[in-house]
Amino acid sequence: MNEDERKGFILVGTLGLGSLAVWYLSRQRDTSAASTWWAPGPLSLGCPPHPDGENVTPPPENGTPLGRYFTVEELSVSATAERHGLDNTPRGEALENLQHLVNNVLDPFRALIGKPIRVNSGYRSPEVNSRISAASSTSQHMEGRAVDFLIEGMEAEAIAQAFHESGLDFDQLIWYTPGQGGHVHISYVHPSVRPNRNMMRKKDSSGYHTWTPSPLRTSV
């Protein structure tokens, strides 16, 4: 028995299975620069689960790279697709749009923020999207242009503010209050298609609202 296994047995006997689970997750944490899947989901932040991000099988560790920090599998994994046995593989224009999203939004923001990004929902095929009651029939997820995500230890509003301060181009950003999922939605359209709108909104129990971030901090 190695040292980690011995500690595990001690924890079971003294603290119970719940504490063992926390200890095990901490041992599995990836401290590399890459995005990881070890972190607890929205429920750890006191939020309801994302409609397409609960009970989903994490993508393989060695997936198909799509930029520095992300993989195709990570950006197309879907609990809804798994539940209904649907193929949710992005192809053609959708895959190309995902690449633009990673190159211009996700990778730069991940490098800037210095923390793993947990993807709840990325690409959704039209059929998968139609199975999600809360999804818009014109969702940019179907085009591979949008992603919903969390960053462990950061509130959605703080993520939105950090993105504003990053100066990165984007089409639409929506941050959801804890009661609405506590995640952030971000989309990007390549300039060859049309200019990005840089539109920021907030979603709470009463609906969607225009959101104005705090002014950028300036040094004196």
**Paired residues of 210 in beta bridges:** 201
Six-digit token string for 20: 């063992």
Q: Diameter of the chain by CA atoms?
A: 61
Residue 79 burial class via C-beta count within 10 angstroms: exposed 0-12, middle 13-18, buried 19 and up: buried
> Residue 157's pLDDT band (boundaries 50, 70, 90)?
very high
Six-digit token string for 61: 């560790």
pLDDT for 29 beyond 90? no
Q: Which residues contact 103 (CB under 8 A, 6 or more apart)?
A: 67
The per-residue pLDDT for 215 is: 87
Separation between Cα atoms, residue 65 and residue 210, nearest integer Å: 35
Six-digit token string for 49: 């689960």
Structural element, H or E, at residue 204: strand 199-204
Q: How much is the mean pLDDT over the chain?
A: 81
As a residue count, the chain comes to 220
Query: Where along the chain do its domains lie?
Result: 1-30, 32-210
Place of tokens 């190159």: 103
The per-residue pLDDT for 134 is: 86
Separation between Cα atoms, residue 210 and residue 17, nearest integer Å: 45
Separation between Cα atoms, residue 194 and residue 218, nearest integer Å: 31
Domain 32-210 classification at class level: alpha beta
Question: Running DSSP on this structure, what letter comes out for residue 135?
Answer: S
pLDDT for 28 beyond 80? no
Return the higher-pLDDT residue of 137 and 55.
Answer: 137
Separation between Cα atoms, residue 5 and residue 170, nearest integer Å: 47
Q: Which residues contact 171 (CB under 8 A, 6 or more apart)?
A: 140, 145, 187, 188, 189, 196, 197, 198, 199
Pick the closest to residue 121 from 61, 187, 69, 167 (CA basis). Answer: 187
